[in-house]
A and B are shown apart, each in its own frame.
Chain A
Amino acid sequence: MRVEANFSSLKLTSTREHVVRFVLGGVVTVVAGLIARRWGPVIGGLFLAFPAIFPAGATLIEEHEVQKKRAIGRDGHRRGREAAGLDAAGAALGAIGLAAFAAVLWRLLPGHNSWGVLALASMMWMLVSGSLWVLRRRS
């Protein structure tokens, strides 16, 4: 199956939902900083991998599927849960990539250019996550 972008799906997301994501993202980022300041970098670092937007994103996916099915007179709750479940399965693979991202930062940050290490770590996240997704599709 090909990976593609479907920009028409953006119409399903309301302004309120965008605002909720923005505020949620901002609040979680601030709270992660406060936790690091209060309990130090060892505990604070855990919250850099907090599933910040995941519950809201998965819930939106379910709601959008329900809306689509309702428009054609069907109950879309089961389909909605299935779509959210697929999203969660993808997030599990993305989280392994997230661990690879963090490992690159941990090992390389002290001795190298910060922006270069961040770029390398981001590429590592994409590479590991994407490779795992391809492997899973083939298995």
Chain B
Amino acid sequence: MSEFVARFLIGGVVISLFALLGDVLRPKSFAGLFGAAPSIALATVGLTIAREGKQYAATEARSMILGAIAFCVYASGVSWALERYKGSTLATTVALMPMWLGLSLGLCWVLLR
């Protein structure tokens, strides 16, 4: 239980800090880099190593590469859709989220099974 409280607090703080950096930096395209900062990983890798060991954390990191590739495709899709269509940003980012999940799991199935 205490581990999940720690994860919640550390995750909240780290992700909020990266979001603040994205708020203050200009131009917008540069600030956008921080939307894909390694915030969840930085918040959890230390706890994972302490609990499960380095090899477990390295295995997670290998899968994270595929998640990041899916994130790149997803964010590119969002950028394209916002330019081309008139949907709101919230609707567009949420509607395309299955693209991230499907691509991540698909790459994982093809490359790591």
Residues of A within 8 A of B (CB): 1, 3-7, 9-10, 12-13, 18, 21-30, 32-34, 36, 41-62, 80-99, 101-103, 105-107, 109-110, 114, 118, 121-122, 125, 129-130, 133, 136-137
Contact = CB atoms under 8 A, between A and B. Distances in A.
- Interface of A: prevailing SS: helix
A45 B16 contact: no
Contact of A45 (B8, B12, B62, B71): B62
Contacts of B44: 29, 32-33, 48
30 contacts: A7-B24, A10-B23, A10-B24, A30-B11, A32-B44, A34-B4, A42-B63, A42-B108, A43-B108, A45-B63, A48-B63, A49-B65, A49-B66, A51-B75, A54-B75, A55-B93, A56-B19, A59-B90, A62-B90, A81-B83, A81-B89, A82-B83, A84-B89, A87-B29, A88-B78, A90-B35, A92-B79, A95-B68, A102-B67, A118-B45
